Amino acid sequence: MLRIYYQDEIKNIIEINNSRFHKISKVLRMSEGEKIELFDGNGLSFITKIISISKEKVILENISKSHIESNNKSPEIHLAFSIIKPSRFEIAVEKTTEIGINKILPLITEHTNKTLVKRFNSSRLERLKNISISAAEQCGTNFVPQINNPILLNNLIDQYNDPDILKIMFYEDSNITDLIKEKIYNFKKILLIIGPEGGFTKDEYMKLKINNYRVQSLGKNILRAETAAICAVNNINYFLHITQ
């Protein structure tokens, strides 16, 4: 069944006249009577039926009660991920959406490429949001992560200073792999931080350590930044699942 992200107010009759209209009418050539699942990105979904298709819009009728996909992981997962080349950053957004994440914060560190930071404008942010929506439509989750504007490392540290937040720094020189021993399910939020390809500077590393960021390893191999982000989110989701 086709799944469509729908952000507006849920009504008994829904009108689709954006890019999803083209997919329904021209690409998939759907017909009256066929069913489509709509979801709002926050866990809510419902089944609709096509009641009319015109040259400009598709009209849907809500035929099922709303369903809320509960988030059993309890803590929100936030990923602060250093800005890298656009195509590779997009891969990280797509795959972490599929795995399950609540918020993505493009991160600016000392070794972050400043040219790429300047190119991180509103149109790029909109593209990333569309990529996350498409990933959610495809993989079956009803949750779409919030993608924030770029943030400086110092501002991130200030923003995430609540003791109810578990803060984890994935660092390639670390050999620590005992995250499973942490009672991570008891935290309200879990912040994962991935540095740039040049890594964190010594000053940045020490600043993170002083502010109670736990150091964690992703294995002996040196991973590309987007691979590290995907593995980190997957690991946390796995640990949350087995410790519930």
Given a cut of 80, whether residue 70 has pLDDT beyond it is: no
Confidence (pLDDT) at 240: 82
CA angle 169, 171, 173 (to 5 degrees): 150
What span, in angstroms and rounded, lies between the C-alpha atoms of 174 and 12? 54
Encoded tokens for 22: 């083209």
Lowest mean pLDDT among 106-110, 174-178, 213-217: 174-178
Closest CA to 28 of 48, 50, 2: 2
In terms of Cα–Cα distance, which of 189, 201, 97 is closest to 140?
97
Confidence (pTM): 0.89
Alpha carbons 16 and 28: distance in angstroms, whole number: 15
Give the pLDDT band (50/70/90) at residue 178: low
Average pLDDT over residues 178-189: 74
- The confidence band for 174, taking pLDDT boundaries of 50, 70 and 90, is low
Assess contact for 168 and 191: CB atoms under 8 A: yes
Per the DSSP assignment, residues forming a β-bridge with 59 are 15, 52
Q: Return the pLDDT at 160.
A: 97
Three-state secondary-structure class, residue 49: strand
Q: State the average pLDDT for the chain.
A: 89
User: What does the pLDDT look like over 3-33, one tens digit per residue?
Assistant: 999 988 778 899 888 778 888 887 888 899 9
> What is the model's pLDDT at position 171?
74
Domains, the chain, ranges and CATH? 2-68 (2.40.240.20), 76-242 (3.40.1280.10)
- In the chain, the amino acid numbered 94 is E
Residue with tokens 């209209």: 21
Mean pLDDT, residues 43-69 taken together: 88
- Furthest C-alpha separation in the chain: 62
Question: What does the pLDDT look like over 79-131, one tens digit per residue?
Answer: 999 999 999 999 999 999 999 999 999 999 999 999 999 999 999 999 999 99
